[in-house]
Amino acid sequence: MKQILQIKDEVNQIVELINDSNYLVVFTGAGISTESGLADFRGADGIWTRRDKGLPPKKGKHFDEVEPNKAHIAIKELQDMGIMKFLISQNVDNLHLESGIKPELISELHGNYTLMKCLECDERYSRTEIQWDRELHGRGFRTEPQVVSQPSCKKCEGRIISSVVNFKDPMPEKEMKLSKHHTEKCDLMLVIGSSLSVQPASNFPRRAKKNGAKIVIINIDITSQDDTADLKSVNKAGELLPSVIEKLKEVK
């Protein structure tokens, strides 16, 4: 009963913050997808956490085996209600787009495993569309040698690479500019499932807070910005956010 009351109280607080805001931006990390069966990276039992402890990685599902969960669907409903103005995501799992998020309303800061992109003009393609065969052409990472037979951009003949941003790769310019633009406009940011320990992505909530925005963090683990959040919830996003949507629909 205590946890039910706690969730109810947090739902009411989040709904109040949303109703008092004019420009809601959502920021997501790997933790939002754990309820779909994917492993996170820097949680208590995350991929990098286990690696740093010398432990083997836990066996998890592949991106192709999972579907959007209740938290993804709730964010999509925020979009459809006209409440969410923009979504900034660190995830490469494609679950936001699969849930129905409009491509023009999301910046996937670390790329998308389903998409290839042109290194010259930034045009995006699915692997099927560009006829990219991983057996023949490799993964297509920026740092890998270019295979002669690799497909080229249909628009400008430029080199095609994976849109996924690996360590030491430059951040995508377009996505960074869009994220900065919407962060500076937002007055409320919902941070869901991110440890907020990976830069430069983690700087967006800090920038929003510095500009006077309210910050809500939803994460079962500790994050590096808990102390500055206006509200920190340790409830699962897939349990909390649907209740927020239901309450928003009641008061609208």
- Burial (CB count within 10 angstroms: exposed 0-12, middle 13-18, buried 19+), residue 67: exposed
Return d(Cα 89, Cα 105) in angstroms, integer.
11
Q: What are phi and psi of 28, to 5 degrees?
A: -125, 150
The residues assigned a catalytic role are 110
Neighbours of 218 (CB within 10 A): 28
Tell me if 75 sits within 8 A of 101, measured CB to CB: yes
Q: Which residues, in sequence order, are CB contacts of 83 under 8 Å at separation 6+? A: 18, 24, 248
Q: Which amino acid is at 55?
A: L
Q: 161: which residues sit within 8 A by CB, 6+ positions away?
A: 116, 117, 119, 140, 141, 142
Joined together, the tokens standing for residue 192 give 């869901």
